[in-house]
Amino acid sequence: MDAATPQTAGSLSATVYEWLQSIVVAWVVCLLVFVFGVRQIGVDGRSMVPTLHHEDRIIVSNVLFEPSPGDIVVLTNKEFMTKPIVKRVIAVGGDTVDIDYDAGFVIINGTPIEEPYINERMSPRLSGVEFPLTVPEDYIFVMGDNRNNSSDGRVFGPVDKREVLGKVYVVAWPFANWKVVA
């Protein structure tokens, strides 16, 4: 009986060591994923209603991502915003954007775009940018889905793609709003 006790103790310590090693490795992997690949950000404001709502928590990633029209992105620019904002990409470098405020729609490269995601028809004329506007290469033009309650590209113009923190993939919180966005 005495011979079995040391072997059991050694086996137990090996098992505990393996568990601790697995936990540490999993923790490091999660840390690396969340630091370098995936971010969780809160929506502040109502500029993306009905797609996103104030205080939604969203999952964002910039891994292998190139902004394209229709993507919802998080961006930052220290010159005209104090914290990251969430907007929809409307046009990319080389595209010409025009806005028909009377009809309430956006025209890209001469063709009105269909936008089933907007909250309501755009009515106010925001100052700051003259249209038509050709988006420079390596820039994007963004707008909120709640056009009548959004400070967006109509105010601050095209945004450098380097200012995009990532694409929104999931609304994670609250659970009632949970959905895949991409």
CB 156 within 8 A of CB 99: no
Q: Is 78 a catalytic residue?
A: no
Distances (CA, A) of 126 to 81, 90, 152: 17, 16, 9
- Among candidate residues 11, 83, 87, 179, the one labeled active-site is 87
**Annotated catalytic residue within 47, 61, 161, 167:** 47
Kindly list the distances between the CA atom of residue 134 and the CA atoms of 4, 91, 93, 120, in Å, as whole numbers in the listed order.
79, 9, 8, 25
Residue of 19, 72, 12 lying closest to 41 (CA atoms): 72
* 47 is known as an active-site residue: yes
Distance between CA atoms of residues 92 and 36, nearest Å: 25
Q: Which residues are catalytic?
A: 47, 87
